[in-house]
Amino acid sequence: MSPNPTPPAPHLFEATHVTAVMPQQGGDHTVFHDLSFHVDAGEVVDITGPSGAGKSTLLTAFARLNAHTTGIFTLDGKDSDSFTPQQWRVRVSYLPQTSTLIGETVADAIRLPWTLKIRQGERKQDPAGMLTDEHIRQLLDDMGCADIELGRDPRELSGGQSARIALARTILTKPQLLLADEVDAGLDEDNADKVADLLKRAASQGAGVVRIRHRAPDGRANRIMVLKDGVLSEQGKGRN
């Protein structure tokens, strides 16, 4: 008798039976019903589609931030219900189109995730001394953010600089899954390209990356999914 075949490894993140029903005047509106999705470690997956199709709703469902959505979500084969909301948000980072940078300096804004109570018990306060100015400076330089001074007031940053700092800060927390909701919207081509490089860098370090985009394909995505009329389907494969 031949041995039992080895079961395939689970996807890094998998979502099944995802449904969104939004309350509105005149009765509830079903945005989408029974959708399935997955992303693997090291992969960048783009979700595109017309405005109003529910792309952001889908991403916030993955992040467990949307009370009007339901579904089954797994990370490394473990059901989301086995995680506390805090544990899930350490592992699954959601980046909105516009992020707020809090602190008197860029360095303060970068350090914020390690000072929030939500991460107490999940990470050391200063793992391996990575929060020193010198270490942050080196990491930002490596990420293409050499033009941003650590002592600068975050409120003085341009939109492109703020987007890159918010993204770099998220990458430094090393999430397993990074959900980017049109973080390149409103940016010029140069800054949008730098943001795309940062997201690809996160994938190269083992994260799964999901991007909502309205721009033309930029070659970073391994797969492109289209959400339209309540259906999520694969459009094609990007370059690695």
Give helix 159-172 / helix 133-142 axis angle, nearest 10°.
Answer: 110
In this structure, what token pair is assigned to residue 168? 């770099």
Nearest to 143 by CA among 194, 213, 76, 100: 194
In a domain, 3, yes or no: no
Averaged pLDDT for residues 117-141 = 65
Distance between CA 136 and CA 188 in Å, rounded? 25
pLDDT exceeds cutoff 60 at 145: yes
pLDDT tens across 73-124, in order?
Answer: 999 999 999 999 989 999 999 999 888 898 899 999 998 887 764 445 544 4
pLDDT exceeds cutoff 70 at 1: no
Predicted confidence at residue 7, as pLDDT, reads 67
Positive or negative: CA dihedral 197, 201, 202, 204: positive
In a domain, 4, yes or no: no
Averaged pLDDT for residues 146-154 = 92
Averaged pLDDT for residues 1-9 = 66
User: Maximum distance among all alpha carbons in the chain?
Assistant: 70
Averaged pLDDT for residues 167-175 = 88
Nearest to 15 by CA among 115, 116, 109, 88: 88
Helix or strand run (H / E) with residue 232:
strand 231-236
**Which residues, 6+ apart, have CB-to-CB distance to 190 below 8 Å?**
160
pLDDT band at 208 (very low <50, low <70, confident <90, very high): very high
Amino acid letter for position 175: P
Averaged pLDDT for residues 149-167 = 91
pLDDT band at 238 (very low <50, low <70, confident <90, very high): very low
Averaged pLDDT for residues 120-148 = 71
Predicted confidence at residue 175, as pLDDT, reads 94
pLDDT tens across 21-64, in order?
Answer: 999 888 899 999 999 999 999 999 999 999 999 999 999 999 99
In a domain, 7, yes or no: no
Predicted confidence at residue 212, as pLDDT, reads 97
pTM of the model: 0.86
In a domain, 8, yes or no: no
How would DSSP label each residue in 100-147? ---SSSHHHHHHHHHHSGGGBTTB-SSGGGTTSHHHHHHHHHHTT-TT
Distance between CA 53 and CA 62 in Å, rounded? 16
In a domain, 6, yes or no: no
Predicted confidence at residue 239, as pLDDT, reads 44
Q: What is the CATH number of the domain that holds 76?
A: 3.40.50.300
pLDDT exceeds cutoff 80 at 225: yes
Least confident of 31-35, 46-50, 143-147, 224-228: 143-147
In a domain, 154, yes or no: yes
Predicted confidence at residue 118, as pLDDT, reads 41
Distance between CA 177 and CA 97 in Å, rounded? 17
Range of the domain at 205: 13-236
In a domain, 197, yes or no: yes
Instruction: Quote the number of domains for the chain.
Output: 1
